[in-house]
Amino acid sequence: MEEGEKMGVIPLIPFLNRKPGKLPVESIQIVLEELRKKEHNAFISIYFAGNLEWLDKNKSSFLVMWRRPEEWGKLIYQWVSRSGQNNSVFTLYELTNGEDTENEEFHGLDEATLLRALQALQQEHKAEIITVSDGRGVKFF
């Protein structure tokens, strides 16, 4: 991932190098699985725990997230509360591309990650994903 990117998909194939001294696939998958776990352990900083998600059952491709969806949701909800936007409805576009959010970390967030963040807020009863005239939206409580 490059600086400023919020998420990136990484195929496992480039890591696979069978030359002597290189890790076998199984070892790489163990390391990546540790990154995927949400609980903190002694070897992985709490800042990276849970920031990896496998995209297939074979564990050949994975998603690396700068922040977990719950963390994005928290940032979004902090902005909503701070700006007095509770009980307001926003389109997904307004949240990530609107002028009001230009200085927020979640500005420019891709829609898939945004939806996951909003789903996390919905589970906490802080938001509800709704259908609006021009697509999907969200109401914050």
Q: What is the pTM of this model?
A: 0.66
The count of C-alpha atoms lying within 13 angstroms of the C-alpha of 14, restricted to the half-sphere facing its C-beta, is 4
Q: Say which residue, 47 or 132, is predicted with more confidence.
A: 132
Over residues 59-82, the pLDDT tens digits come to: 788 777 778 889 999 999 999 999
Query: What pLDDT digit, counting tens, does each position of 97-125 carry?
Result: 999 999 999 999 989 899 999 999 999 99
φ and ψ at residue 51, rounded to 5 degrees: -95, 15
Token pair 């163990």: residue: 30
The single-letter code of the amino acid at 27 is S
What does DSSP say about strands 52-54 and 61-65: parallel, antiparallel, or unpaired?
antiparallel
